[in-house]
A and B are shown apart, each in its own frame.
Chain A
Amino acid sequence: MSYLTITDLQKHYENYHALRGINLSISEGEFVVFVGPSGCGKSTLLRTIAGLESSTGGSIELDGRDITEVASSKRDLAMVFQSYALYPHMTVADNLSFALRLAKVSDAEIKEKVRSVSASLQLDALLERKPKELSGGQRQRVAIGRAIVRQPKVFLFDEPLSNLDAALRVQMRLELARLHKKLGTTMIYVTHDQVEAMTLADRVVILNAGQIEQVGTPLELYRQPNSRFVAEFIGTPKMNLIPANRILRNEDTLSIDIFGQQISFPANRLKGPLPDSVVIGIRPEHMSLVETDGDLTGRIELVEHLGSEAYAHLQLSSDQTIIIKAPARTELKDGQEVCIKIDTSELILFNENDRVISVIPEEA
């Protein structure tokens, strides 16, 4: 059953249409991540759910109650802000208990809740400090603690890790995942970092220009993007996109012409009619370098060694560059001519409107 239901949500600014009809339903206990490039509306969507921005159309329903017009203070949501937004004039303990004190919870109960939250976040020793005496990671923990202590219906996170350094970010990411497991509360998380989205989410919502581009589990998005936008947005390094000119159908295979070299593709994987031209998408790990008998040939431009693996940047005969994942100890040399073998079962075709026109077969 849907816990949080968003129906045709609109947000107009004076001369800017930030949310163009968002429809989304989130189940109880789900961890949903909104991701997209800057300006796509992900933060606006979160802030509209929080009630910090008013919507100009549509509705939001939480646990059977329409909260579209309810003040943020009465929505029973908690939010962790990018800047943490701790109250600088209050101690950590006061920051944690502020909401409870406003709600006139009894002193004994407040004390107990602050104690248990601070214990679980390792804040016990810091309770009497002011925010400015804390490190970035500690502030982050206080901000999270402040949200947890209220036991809200939904947690909202607005790019909470973006002010932390890389190492701390990985650590906090893990802690958030653990926290979600432990509390089981619904969480909505906004980020522009697709790694955070992939690692944390039960479901990822990809936004683009104020609209939902695709919703799905991280793996679905990775393997079966609906559009070129999603395909390019998810995955590092990016999916390779190669324009192809001619497609020939013979019996049950399609033969795609890439600069005079042919790749064949099972015709039953095509959905819809056959377009004149397509862009083929293939991820770096679905190609390999072979001695002979490749689908394409190219010249190595640069090899990036990451230790556990390597990425070879190749130039095709058309000057197009593609990236291929190679074994860690590859002996490849710059300038070397190589053959490329494509795993055609992972090939994705996009039409001229950048929509997907192929189906990836279910894994056996």
Chain B
Amino acid sequence: MTLNQQRKLKTILTGLFAWSVALVLFFPIFWMFITSFKTELQAISVPPSLFFEPTLDNFRIVQERSDYIHHAWNSVVTSFGSTIIALIIAIPAAYSMAFFPGKRTKDILLWMLSTKMLPAVGVLVPIYILCRNYGLLDSKTALVIIFTLMNLPIIVWMLFSYFKDLPKEILEAARMDGATPWDEVVKVVLPLSVGAISSTALLSIVLCWNEAFWSLNLTASDAAPLTAMIASYSSPEGLFWAKLSAASTLACAPIVIFGWFCQKQLVQGLTFGAVK
């Protein structure tokens, strides 16, 4: 075999391997998707059926039984709402820490991150009781507040690590050009950071969308987002796999498709710029 043939073979083997890993990892999602178009009987057939006449009944039933639209709307409101609020709070903080660092900046950042290490269960009881006392149980307001605080440290970190990598000379050039601090932020920093801010926002939306602990514990029906709706399908009332799959597909599809489009930025963002 020549060196060239060896290289070709290597590429083919790498490809085959990569594809098999990807397909194995993707299989459960694929299967969920397929099952959602089956009848309940086909869904539990052994051996599993791959060829069948697809039906949309399950989706209709899910909408009727659990009001998918209602829960999806809750998910959208809580994810987007808390993300926007968190960004508004985080951008000034990240900006001032990145461009005007003091002696304590590093400590403050690590402290912020350490609040993420604080397990939610540690404060579940007081939060539950506070929500109950203020009539916020099963309300979107409570979820928005909690999601905002939950993601704030990560958002500050991501923006900070991005701002920090902005070439300082560009800001100095703006200053020499007569820009006030406000001009600097609005006309230089923000336009340069559109990508970073949107990938931070995307990550925050994904984390909120999939958040389960607080959604399960603080909501019942009115404010329940999709994670909580899906959990209601876990009760063993018989084998409703097709409907379960349809509900799951509906719950995940928006965020998975969303994630596909921005997976690259998401990974970079989530590693705080440590991996380029």
In-complex A–B contact (CB below 8 Å): yes
Contacts of A87 in B (CB 8 A): 170, 173-174, 188, 192
Q: Which residues of A contact B (CB under 8 A)?
A: 50-52, 71-74, 77-79, 81-83, 85-89, 98-99, 102-103, 146, 150
Residues of B within 8 A of A85 (CB): 167, 169-170, 172-173
B91 within 8 A of A: no
Asked if A83 and B177 make an inter-chain contact with CB atoms under 8 angstroms apart, the answer reads: no
In the bound complex, how far is the Cα of B170 from the Cα of A303, in angstroms?
47
Distance in Å: Cβ of B105 to nearest Cβ of chain A: 15
CA distance A73 to B179 in the complex (A): 6
Complex Cα spacing A26 to B156, Å: 46
Counted as pairs of residues, one from A and one from B, with CB atoms less than 8 Å apart, the total is 60
* Known contacts A87-B188, A89-B192; A77/B170 CB under 8 A: no
Q: Are A88 and B192 touching (Cβ within 8 A)?
A: yes
- Residue of B at shortest CB range from A77? B176
Instruction: Decide: B169 and A82 in contact? CB cutoff 8 A.
Output: yes
Complex interface: chain B residues within 8 A of A71 (CB):
175
Contact: A81 with B172, CB < 8 Å? Answer: yes
Choose one: B176, B179, B187, B188; the contact of A79 (CB below 8 Å). Answer: B176
Residues of B within 8 A of A88 (CB): 170, 192
Contacting residues, chain B, for A52 (C-beta < 8 A): 172, 175-176
What is the CA–CA distance of A153 and B42 in the complex, to the nearest angstrom? Answer: 82
- Closest chain-B Cβ to A54's Cβ sits at a distance in Å of 13
A13 to B179, CA, bound (A): 26
A81 touches B173 (CB 8 A): yes
- Contact residues of B: prevailing secondary structure: helix
On whether the beta carbons of B176 and A78 are closer than 8 Å, the reply is yes
Given A89-B191, A89-B192, A102-B183; A83-B167 close (CB under 8 Å)? yes
**Looking at the complex, which one of B167, B175, B183 makes contact with A72 (CB distance below 8 Å)?**
B175
Would you list which residues of chain B between 171 and 198 have a CB under 8 Å from chain A? Answer: 172-180, 183, 187-188, 191-192
Q: Which residue of B lies closest to A99 (CB)?
A: B177
Residues of B with C-beta under 8 A to A86: 170, 173
Smallest CB–CB gap between B156 and chain A, Å? 23
Output the least CB separation between A205 and chain B (Å).
Answer: 21
In angstroms, Cα B183 to Cα A85, docked, is 16
Give CA–CA (A99, B191) in the complex, Å. Answer: 17
Inter-chain contact A79/B172, CB cutoff 8 Å: yes
As a 0/1 sequence over residues 143 to 167 of chain B, the CB contacts with chain A under 8 angstroms (1 = contact) are 0000000000000000000000001
Distance, CA A98 to CA B218, complexed state (A):
51
Given A85-B173, A87-B170: A74 in contact with B192 (beta carbons within 8 A): no
Most buried by A among B175, B177, B183, B187: B177
Contact yes or no, B177 A146, CB < 8 A:
yes
Docked complex Cα distance between A52 and B170 (Å): 12
